[in-house]
Structure formats: structure tokens, C-alpha cells
Amino acid sequence: MKVAVIQFPGSNCDQDTLWALRLVGLKAEPVWHTERSLEGFQAAILPGGFSYGDYLRAGALAKFSPVMEAVRRLASGGYPVVGICNGFQVLTEAGLLPGALLANTNLHFTCKDVYLRVERTDLPHTTGYRPHQVLKMPIAHGEGRYYADAETLERLEQNRQVVFRYAPAPEEAEEGYNPNGSLHDIAGIVNEQGNVLGLMPHPERAVEGVLGSEDGLPFFVSLKQALEGIA
């Protein structure tokens, strides 16, 4: 079992994601965007960054990369596919996840720790969490405001496709915790099948105490256990 970390030109969290995957004992390899096959990989992560500079619209060009067809095939085969930050934007642009990520309501890039509530613990990415556990994790994005039409939002809620929601810090004020204006406080969603997941916060930046939080570690540990199940 091996995880592909897709490198688009301009990806910049690829090495951090590889580090986190290897930290939990997963085999992980970078895969350049021109590759057409993901043979030998049982999962793929689209990392954060600024693919193609994000000059047009975040993630808008990466969806045309040759590797995206292989990612699509992996996803339709039921294997775990994850998009983190820019990777989430790419997944929505590519139609693998519904909705879109718009400019933050503050209209600028924001990098800080936020808190998330885990809404699903039955997914290959989240079995390591307790139900409704509140996690501390950093965000670093300018376009992270999750948006979808009312009908789609309704469907996401009914199908329990919202996996992570921005939440107040433990023992803190009830207001002002949503950092970007996301509808329904959405920080991360999954597709109906439950294998393609996108999230704006960076679990790979929260895998060691020395970095300020270990709350991202169960994300990768869950993935490892799920992949061991596949193998």
C-alpha cells in the first residue's frame, strides 16, 4: 500500500504531506502532474500550494493536468483521495467534490490556528477521532469560504457529507470562530461514496507536538489503518 502525493507545478505542501505520511509509517511517493498512471498506489493526496500560481482561480488549471484522469479513476475505484487546501480547491474544480471555495470574507490570505469539530468518524480518514472531537489545526488560505447552492448544502447535510466544521475553541466565545465565512461552517466534506475528502485546514502541519498540535496525526493514522484493510 502506497500513497501518491500529487505534485502540480506550484504545489508547496507536497514535502510536508510526504513527511506526515511517512511519520505514521505509510509508504508515500511524489507523483509529478504529467504522469498518466497511478498504478501501484492505493490512495492519492492533492497537497496544498498555489498550483500554476493560482493566478486564474485557485485550482482552476490543475484540473486539466494529465494526472487528474488517473486520480479520477482511483476515486471511482473507491480508493481514498484527499485534497488539502489547494488540493480541496482542485477537487471541487475537477467536479470530484461539490461546491466551490471562494475568497475569504476578510478578502485576504489568513494563516492561524483554528478549531474544528469532527462530524464523521466512520470514514477511512477519520476513524482515529472521537465523535465531535474538537481539533486544533492551522489554516493558510485566501480562498477557503465553502460555498454551494441551497439544494447541494441540504444534500450534503442529509447525507452527512460534512466531515469537519469550524467550531469555537474549548472554553471560548461562541462567535467569530469561522475564519473565512464558509457556509454551514464547513471546513471539510466528503463525496457520497465516502472516499474522496477535501478540507481547507492542514492536518499535515499538526502531526507533532513541536509544531504546536498533534491533532492532525489521527487523520494519517486512520488512513494507514484503512489502507492496511485494503491490502
Q: Which is nearer to other proteins, 12 or 225 (CB)?
A: 12
Q: Which is nearer to other proteins, 111 or 230 (CB)?
A: 111
CB of 207 to other proteins, least distance (A): 8
Question: Of residues 13, 33, 85, 119, which has the active-site annotation?
Answer: 85
Residue 132 bears catalytic tag: no
CB of 136 to other proteins, least distance (A): 13
Q: Which is nearer to other proteins, 150 or 210 (CB)?
A: 210
Task: Pull the grid cell for residue 17.
Answer: 504531506
CB of 20 to other proteins, least distance (A): 8
CB of 153 to other proteins, least distance (A): 28
Residue 85 bears catalytic tag: yes
For residue 208, the 8-state DSSP code is B
Q: Which is nearer to other proteins, 169 or 230 (CB)?
A: 169
Residues whose CB is less than 8 angstroms from the CB of residue 149 and which lie 6 or more positions away in sequence, other chains included: none
Reduce the secondary structure of the chain to three states and give it as a string. CEEEEEECCCECCHHHHHHHHHHCCCEEEEEECCCCCCCCCCEEEECCECHHHHCCCCCCCHHHCCHHHHHHHHHHCCCCEEEECHHHHHHHHCCCCCCEEECCCCCCCEEEEEEEEECCCCCCCCCCCCCCCEEEEEEEECCCEEECCHHHHHHHHHCCCEEEEECCCCCCCCCCCCCCCCHHHEEEEECCCCCEEEECCCHHHCCEHHHCECCCHHHHHHHHHHHHHHC
- List of residues contacting other proteins (CB under 8 A): 9-10, 12-13, 15-16, 19-20, 32, 48-50, 52-55, 106, 108-112, 138, 140, 142, 202, 204-205, 207-208, 210-212
Question: Of residues 33, 125, 141, 202, which has the active-site annotation?
Answer: 202
Q: Which is nearer to other proteins, 56 or 231 (CB)?
A: 56
Residue 204 bears catalytic tag: yes
CB of 75 to other proteins, least distance (A): 26
Question: Of residues 93, 119, 143, 204, which has the active-site annotation?
Answer: 204
Distances, alpha carbon 80 to alpha carbons 28, 73, 169, in Å = 14, 11, 29
Supply the residues annotated as catalytic. 85, 202, 204
